[in-house]
Amino acid sequence: MRDTFGRQVDHLRLSVTDLCDLRCRYCMGEDGVPKRRHEDILSVEECVEIGRAAVACGVKKIRLTGGEPLVRRGILDIARGLKALPGLAELCLTTNGTALAAMAGPLRAAGVDRLNISLDTLRPERYRAMTRRGELADVLAGIEAAERAGFAHIKLNAVLIGGFNDDEIGDFLALTRDRPWQVRFIELMPMGPCAGWEKDRFLPCDTVPERYPQLEPLPGEGVARLYRLPGAAGTVGLISPLSHAFCDGCRRIRVTADGRLKGCLHSREEVPLRGLRGPALEAAIRRGIAAKPQRHHLTERPSDTPRDMNEIGG
Ligand code: SAM
Ligand code: SF4
């Protein structure tokens, strides 16, 4: 279905939990999220019914996210239920990778087609400091397990943060030399805990080709601008929501773990979906798509959403 600005909306990001085993400093507070009651979060059946209704409204691709989707009990049932939907072309999942060593095989068997794995640093000490508790070795083991399980086109997402990991750009690029991965640098968006961070933390993605002019541009893919190191097996993606906003081409809607549809990550507007089924649910999703805002205002002010990223789903 098209929104009021003529954009084809065919991607759904479905947050299956707001909980996470990590506490990335830009995403969550130290104490995590106030524990919600079990019944405040979408059930497995509700997740699948929302997926079904979204597909009926024209959605072709669903990405499971969170919080950390792999801490969600029932994640495999959700994946299986969604994968069985006729009309769904692709089921993807974004994860911090800490549980992938054990979960990659089961996720593949449950029907997940593609994985994005978030990894902001390749240095164990920094990883611990940024996530406040994670072990880099777990993520690296998870990436290997994902390859063994048959996941192709693995994407590694690194949020580019000035003074934290911009001295590792070359190390990230080097990962693409021998492996068919796409390393994607993402601009830090001012929201939640990082909304008030110093300006120099918010580095434009153009820093990457400026520092590594040997990167060769490739035709773009979705919201990412693509490059390749000469002769490399993998590619490099730049996702620049601030410096090169891609709102004009945005095809996404999002559903939060407590069942509210958002037309834009950064807007306050939400359409409650809980308690709805069948045609009533589809009508609510169509309303949400129609009301998708034209653009965000991140270059003028921090995100308008009162929610943190882990609640909405990145
Ligand atoms: N826990 C999973 C993970 O980390 O991949 C999925 C949810 S997480 C919210 C999804 C993505 O959003 C991660 O790649 C994370 O780095 C990114 N993210 C979180 N806060 C962000 C921010 N303020 N700006 C840009 N990306 C952000
Ligand atoms: Fe958890 Fe992902 Fe947020 Fe990090 S970015 S705290 S892994 S939800």
Q: Quick check: is 219 in a domain?
A: yes
Mean pLDDT of the chain: 94
Query: Which atom of ligand 1 has the smallest separation from the CA of 120?
Result: 16
Rounded Cα–Cα distance for residues 191 and 197 (Å): 10
pLDDT per position as a tens digit, 121-133: 999 999 999 999 9
Q: Cα torsion for 72, 70, 51, 245, to the nearest 10°?
A: 120
Q: Quick check: is 2 in a domain?
A: no
Q: Is the pLDDT of residue 6 over 80?
A: yes
CA dihedral for 30, 97, 185, 221, sign (positive or negative): negative
Q: What percent of the chain has pLDDT over 90?
A: 81
Best residue for ligand 1 mutational test, from 14, 25, 27, 117 (most atoms within 8 Å of Cβ)? 27
Closest ligand (CA of 192) = 1
Q: Quick check: is 3 in a domain?
A: no
Residues with Cβ within 8 Å of 310's Cβ and at least 6 positions away in sequence, in order, are 18, 19, 20, 27, 28, 33, 66, 67
Q: Model's pTM, two decimal places? A: 0.96
CATH number at residue 108: 3.20.20.70
**pLDDT at site 15:** 97
Q: Quick check: is 80 in a domain?
A: yes
Rounded Cα–Cα distance for residues 203 and 185 (Å): 10
Chain length of the chain? 314
Its domain, for residue 282, covers 11-312
Q: What residue's CA is closest to ligand 1, atom 19?
A: 27
Q: What is the residue whose two structure tokens read 């993807």?
A: 92
Distances in Å between the Cα of 75 and the Cα atoms of 99, 139, 140, 276, 288 are: 12, 19, 22, 22, 25
Q: Quick check: is 246 in a domain?
A: yes
Q: Is the pLDDT of residue 313 over 90?
A: no
Closest ligand (CA of 24) = 2
Distances in Å between the Cα of 118 and the Cα atoms of 24, 95, 156 are: 11, 6, 6
pLDDT per position as a tens digit, 46-83: 999 999 999 999 999 999 999 999 999 999 999 999 99
Q: What residue's CA is closest to ligand 1, atom 20?
A: 27
Residue 94 contacts residue 65 (beta carbons within 8 Å): yes
Q: How far is the CA of 48 from the centre of ligand 1 (A)?
A: 23
Ligand 1 lined by 68 (C-beta under 6 Å):
yes
Q: Where is 81: in which H helix or E strand?
A: helix 75-83
User: Residues 235-244: what's their mean pLDDT?
Assistant: 92
Q: Is the pLDDT of residue 309 over 80?
A: no
User: Residues 73-100: what's their mean pLDDT?
Assistant: 98
Query: Which atom of ligand 1 has the smallest separation from the CA of 312?
Result: 9
Ligand 1 lined by 191 (C-beta under 6 Å):
yes
Q: Quick check: is 264 in a domain?
A: yes
Q: Quick check: is 147 in a domain?
A: yes
Q: Quick check: is 242 in a domain?
A: yes
Rounded Cα–Cα distance for residues 183 and 137 (Å): 18
Instruction: Please state the domain count of the chain.
Output: 1
